[in-house]
Amino acid sequence: MPVIIIVIVVVYINRIPPLPQVISATARQLESLIRLSEALARMKLAEFVTGDDVAEAIRLMRVATMQSAIDASTGLIDMEAITTGVTMGQRAARAQLAEEIKKLLSGRQGGVSVLELVQMLQGQSSVRVAERDVKAALTSMADVVDWNRDTGRVVIA
């Protein structure tokens, strides 16, 4: 394996500022960059991988990664979005929604229905709150709320 690939890839990866909960590169991505660089060299029938091959491999990887892992709300690459299907922005919004739900439910006897909860949230927000988002937040709050899916009632646990 040519040393130039390792040096250029490591330099490229180390230029990326570390962000919380965002993985800049995985071992598989590095291996893919190496294989892609080697394949580009073979396509040219070259004996060795050049810096241009590595640069093109990095460009191709960046484009592919950005298309599949870009968080539209932040513009950042979020590798967890690939594995979980939920971006960092969506996770933050879900956590904020969960906090609002806790506030609304605290002190309420008998709980509320999911539909009532959606209406209450929409009444205090200028942003549209979707029922599916409330249900996703409730699912993540299983340790805090009791959500009876049969009756649709939600109460603080």
What's the token pair of residue 59? Answer: 């460009």
pLDDT of residue 1: 46
pLDDT of residue 10: 59
Confirm whether pTM is higher than 0.75: no
Do residues 33 and 57 touch, judged by C-beta distance below 8 A?
Answer: yes
What lies within 8 Å, CB to CB, of 148 at 6+ separation is: 154
Q: Which residues of the chain have pLDDT under 70?
A: 1-26, 65-66
Note the pLDDT tens digit of each residue in 29-55: 788 888 999 999 999 999 988 889 988
